[in-house]
Chain A
Amino acid sequence: MDKKKYRLALTAIAGAMFLTAAPASADGNVQCKSGPAKNWKPIAKMKKKVWLEGWELLKLQVEGDCYEVYARNESGQSIEAFFHPVTLEKLVVYRRGSEIYRSSNFPK
């Protein structure tokens, strides 16, 4: 391959990376539309909810307007889940960046 074609190919690869890099949904940008924090259920309730799911809780934090849970599920899989802070409904669950559960009340 001559140098010009080689450069063109590299540019194409870089361009393709830019295009494919724009994701349809970003788990870093999950929005729960949960309203003011004063109406949220307390963290302790959230912890109990995780326990009821049968998960081993690794980390629980507020991410944007959601409760974000890092846990191991009953199969021992590492998961990242987002819960609605008011209803404590499980909205979406990711396993290493792949979506494995989404609530029917929480469309993309």
Chain B
Amino acid sequence: MNRYAAKGLLWIILAIPGILMAWGLSQGDVLAMDLLHPSGEMSIRLMIFAMLAGPLSEFFGVGRFFRARLAIRRNLGVAAFGYAILHLAFYFLDMHDVAAVWDELSIAGIWTGWLALIPMIPPASISFDNAMRKLGRKWKLIQRLVYAALIVSLVHWLLLDWDWWPAFIHLAPLMIAWSLRWLGPRRKASLSRSL
């Protein structure tokens, strides 16, 4: 399979949950409010999935599997942003009008959601080859904003659901991967800087 076909297939797979959500809504099977949770969760899952590639490949070494994971990492990040926007769109559909959205802005569970969106914008907007080439080392630094986005997203989730197990379960793989990175042999330190 050539590179473009593989990338096209990846994006079809990434888009399927979103298409199913939009289809369910258009058919009246679900309400916009029912889709807030799945779309937000999907965004967080993709963010975590993208963030796992770095530390895991550092620990296990960059084999064929992790080379592929690293190669699609940028796509996963953009898809996470896409689902965050979809989440926002469902929120607007649920609220009906802008005044109602504005009225809710002071609630902690809501403004944390808006706040989580802000650090996602710069990494997503520079996720193309030209920007990578132009920004050089700065590109990697900007991508690290995803850490802030993830933490604020999880706080947003907790403040709405007051149930910390789902958020913890999502964070657990990342915690394990980070622990492995810290426990990992020092000789890989030079490699880690490049990933």
Q: Does the CB pair A98–B164 fall under 8 Å?
A: no
Complexed CA–CA distance, A33 and B94 (Å): 32
Q: Does the CB pair A98–B33 fall under 8 Å?
A: no
Q: Does the CB pair B31–A26 fall under 8 Å?
A: no
A5 to chain B, nearest CB (A): 13
Partner of A23, one of B33, B107, B162, B178: B162
Contacting residues of chain B (175-189) with chain A, CB-CB under 8 angstroms = 175, 178, 182
Q: Does the CB pair A78–B94 fall under 8 Å?
A: yes
| Total number of A residues with any Cβ neighbor in B under 8 Å | 24
Q: Does the CB pair B151–A17 fall under 8 Å?
A: yes
Q: Is A97 an interface residue (CB 8 A)?
A: yes
B1 to chain A, nearest CB (A): 39
Q: Name the residue of chain A whose CB is nearest to the CB of B94.
A: A78
Give me 8 other A-B pairs in contact (C-beta within 8 A), A59-B31, A98-B107 excluded: A14-B175, A17-B155, A18-B168, A23-B162, A58-B31, A96-B109, A96-B160, A97-B108
Complexed CA–CA distance, A59 and B158 (Å): 22
Complexed CA–CA distance, A86 and B127 (Å): 56
Complexed CA–CA distance, A20 and B22 (Å): 34
Q: Does the CB pair A21–B164 fall under 8 Å?
A: yes
Partner of B163, one of A10, A26, A70: A26
Q: Name the residue of chain A whose CB is nearest to the CB of B174.
A: A14
8 inter-chain pairs at a CB distance below 8 angstroms, sorted by A residue, are: A10-B178, A21-B158, A21-B164, A58-B31, A95-B107, A96-B107, A97-B108, A97-B109
Partner of B164, one of A22, A25, A77, A97: A22
Q: For chain A, what secondary structure do more than half of its interface residues adopt (helix, strand, loop), or is it mixed? A: mixed
Contacting residues of chain A (60-90) with chain B, CB-CB under 8 angstroms = 70, 76-78
Q: Is A7 an interface residue (CB 8 A)?
A: yes
Q: Is B103 an interface residue (CB 8 A)?
A: yes
A106 to chain B, nearest CB (A): 16
B158 to chain A, nearest CB (A): 5
Q: Is B167 an interface residue (CB 8 A)?
A: yes
Residues of B within 8 A of A78 (CB): 33, 94-95, 100, 104
Q: Is B154 an interface residue (CB 8 A)?
A: yes
A28 to chain B, nearest CB (A): 4
Q: Does the CB pair B31–A13 fall under 8 Å?
A: no
